[in-house]
Structure 1
Amino acid sequence: MIDLIALRRRLHRHPELALHLPETRETLLEAISSLGLRVETSTSSSSLAVVVPGAGPGPTVLLRADMDGLPVTEESGVGFSSSNGNMHACGHDLHMAALVGAVHELTRRREEFEGDVLAIFQPGEEGAGGAELMIAEKVLLTTGRKPLASFGVHVLSFAEAGMFYCREGAVMGATINFELKVLGRGGHAARPHTALDPISTAALIVQGIQTFVAQNSSPADPIVITVGSLRAGTAANVIPNTALLKVSLRATSSQTARDAYRKIAGLGAAIAEAYGLRMTSEVGPDLGPTVSDKEGVELVRQTVGDLYGAGRYKELTVPEMISEDFSLFLEETGGAFVLVGAAVDGTPHQLPTNHSSEARFDDSVVPEIANLLAELAIRRLNIASETNRWA
């Protein structure tokens, strides 16, 4: 039996970024090589698609794990920390190990279902467009049948370990990442009156963004905006020509997010113009909310209850404002996305969050996630076969 926790820690030691993760893919291929399954790889990225066939022909259910890490220097203090300047600070190493475990479990139980389980390992979730790329490369038709449902998970470093969360509708928010570039005129720090300082203007734009949030975000339709990077200048005595803000905007709907972006771009341009500067804006990834459908959520609730007891499942009251490009798979197939608590110790909501250099995850949840994913796939295929809703 494969040691999933050892696999997770091996993956954690060597995180890779964006779309090209050769060492990660090789580790995953090694972990499933003994199963004799059909495996499809891509030349444009490090994606993997693994087909687990059942006892006979039938529909397809998709299971997905994301693969990429973050450009974060790890400070978690765990004995298996990364040392290459990157970090699995969002728990994707747990997701991969769990999906490997699900593939092993499904292979062992293949006589219990008809149809195929399509397990995909997706690179580039952290803003590199991995889901969009895999869909464009027709991964959804790998088995010859478009999946009738997709399931995925995301661990949370700040939620109680072993708790499973889901809800009908948006589980995670919509997001738009964008850049605002303030164009000024450089000069000597001793003569600011002859320059057009982009840094002081950029600071006013940051304040303007936060005021916009305070005046436009409502409890029923929240907006969350973070300026994650403000880069300008190289020396204390030099006024630079430009300042660059990198901004993450999140909302419960794509429409709210896009409306907020347009207003903020206009606000920033107006502030810059008021001080004699210019501002340009450039939109990056624009993802819709991660939406679980009623049938998928009910299956998650029942399956968690049957496997681990009803007390291990909680209904989310509002979406987490984290975003996920798994939303693109759900838009195509329906299904559900499950959040899983993986807090190590302490008071969960006071712990470092995902993406923190100090984030730690309780990897004892990995086998439980693996069992849940396998069981969801089997049950969903059996429901389709029993009702003949796939032919």
Structure 2
Amino acid sequence: MTSPSHHAPGAEHLLTRVGEVLKPALTHYLDLHAHPEVSGAEARTADRFGRRLAAAGCELTHEVGGHGVVGVLRNGDGPRVWLRAELDALPMRERTGLPYASRDDAMHACGHDLHLAAAAGAADLLARLSDRWRGTLLVVGQPAEETLTGAGAMLRDGLYERFGRPDVVLAQHAAPMPSGTVAHAADRVPMAAAGAVLDVVLHGRGGHVATPHLAVDPVVTAAAVVTRLQNVVARETAPADQVTLTVGTVRAGTAANVIPDHAVLGIAVRAAGEASLDRALAAVRRIVRAESAAAGAPREPEVTVASRSAALLCDPHTTGSVRRAHTGLLGPARVLSWPGSMATEDFPLFGDAGAAIHGERGIPLVYWMLGVADPDAWHRTTSDGITSDGAASGAPDAAPPPAPNHSPHFAPHIGSALRPAIAALTVAALDRFAVT
């Protein structure tokens, strides 16, 4: 077996070769975008993704850890290179106005439809380039990334035992940067933060609004908790530390004239590292208990960790090689530096963060951000163009920047984003394969 190449063969021509698979990839993307499915309900998405992988010559396995899909493309002896993309959408109404927009109460507001179309397109293109590499390509369609539960479910279902230990796992993620750009983090800089989602139940004593003194109102307790939680970042976190805390959901009551007997909060906490996350979670628990006690709640509150994820750290050596491959593909001006993000991912579980599940250590992960915004519109947002972290410069007379991920207006400029998305994933895989 030869060593992986630092420069994938024919990288400069790869963008042209993508044209061979672009039409079916675009059809696939438009179909997925119009028919999103939320976490745990990705049956149709998994079926369509599997069909595209089968058309590229992959052997398919469905229902791995839920609706997970694994496609295997064998091409002789060589490394086992894994590509991972996500199946799920978000439970929100799309407001893009696109002719292929979702009409349901779900939306691909984080680019997972583009990730899937690019991964299937890369498999298709790699099958056509089989004379340029040797090894085994595995393409994973992962369910339930938005709830941070899908990667663990696939691994607990024996993903690595059934399909073999990866030599590398590659993934990319849409970001509101100009199409045709990618961004990698520097050594020891997390691509994404550590995070946790908490479900909190605050108990009260229901009653009539005419006799509030006979009740314990959990809505008032919830309001006090929400207000007090702001101090976790503002007054309990060092200014140099990175922590965010958001109460994303508040649910209570069934009628305006009824004091409910409980209120439920959904809380998302993000931090740059595990120690900071642990401190923030301890503060949340302390505040929830204290406010419940202050309100005279008849029962202790319930605090449940619905999901938790580690910070995403990429392998520096492998990332450096893939970054050079991307530079050969796109040019140095289009390969940017990523400063890190407070977004979270369950992708770290495919590496050392999931060793307790899959029993493997030392699996290199490479993950990069992928520009999906219309380049012309992007440059019109600011007189200075792109800053070093891919953000708008904020000139006061600039047009609004592209809608960010998780916005109801998020819309990749698919005409300019899909071709480099396929090419970036393909060239990264070629870089990791043994080259003939």
Tell me if both proteins adopt one fold, taking TM over 0.5 as the criterion: yes
The counterpart of 2:44, out of the listed 13, 23, 26, is 23
The counterpart of 2:282, out of the listed 255, 262, 273, is 262
Could you report, residue by residue, the CA deviation over 1:281-307 in whole angstroms, capped at 9, with x for unpaired residues?
111111101111111220232111100
DSSP-derived class of the 2:113 partner: helix
How far the C-alpha of 1:202 sits from its partner, in A, is 0.7
8 A Cα contact 1:52 1:106, kept in partner: no
Query: In 1, distance between residues paired with 2:91 and 2:111?
Result: 14
The counterpart of 2:418, out of the listed 366, 378, 384, is 366
The counterpart of 1:126, out of the listed 130, 139, 146, is 146
- Counterpart residue identity of residue 378, structure 1: L
1:96-115 → structure 2 map (5 Å cutoff) = 96-115=116-135
297-306 or 337-346, larger mean C-alpha shift: 337-346
Give the count of matched residue pairs.
Answer: 380
- Counterpart residue identity of residue 116, structure 1: T
8 A Cα contact 1:330 1:336, kept in partner: no
The counterpart of 2:368, out of the listed 338, 344, 355, is 338
- Counterpart residue identity of residue 341, structure 2: E
- Counterpart residue identity of residue 366, structure 2: A
Query: In 1, distance between residues paired with 2:328 and 2:137?
Result: 21
The counterpart of 1:326, out of the listed 315, 326, 347, is 347
8 A Cα contact 2:93 2:408, kept in partner: yes
How far the C-alpha of 1:351 sits from its partner, in A, is 3.4
State the Cα RMSD in Å: 1.9
The counterpart of 2:180, out of the listed 146, 155, 162, is 162
The counterpart of 2:404, out of the listed 339, 342, 353, is 353
DSSP-derived class of the 1:249 partner: strand
The counterpart of 2:261, out of the listed 221, 230, 241, is 241
* 2:397 is the counterpart of 1:376: no
Q: Give 1:290's aligned residue.
A: 312
Greater than 6 Å deviation, 4+ residue runs: none
The counterpart of 1:14, out of the listed 31, 35, 53, is 35
TM (normalized to structure 1)?
0.92
- Counterpart residue identity of residue 189, structure 1: V
Query: In 2, distance between residues paired with 1:141 and 1:370?
Result: 28
TM (normalized to structure 2)?
0.83
37-46 or 238-247, larger mean C-alpha shift: 37-46
* 2:271 is the counterpart of 1:220: no
DSSP-derived class of the 1:323 partner: coil
Query: In 2, distance between residues paired with 1:42 and 1:190?
Result: 53
Name structure 2 gaps, 5 residues minimum.
Answer: 1-19, 353-360, 382-390, 393-400
Query: In 1, distance between residues paired with 2:84 and 2:309?
Result: 17
- Counterpart residue identity of residue 294, structure 1: P
How far the C-alpha of 1:266 sits from its partner, in A, is 1.0
Query: In 2, distance between residues paired with 1:223 and 1:71?
Result: 25
How far the C-alpha of 1:200 sits from its partner, in A, is 1.2
Name structure 1 gaps, 5 residues minimum.
Answer: 387-391
Query: In 2, distance between residues paired with 1:149 and 1:18?
Result: 26
Q: Give 1:74's aligned residue.
A: 94
DSSP-derived class of the 1:42 partner: strand
Q: Give 1:151's aligned residue.
A: 170
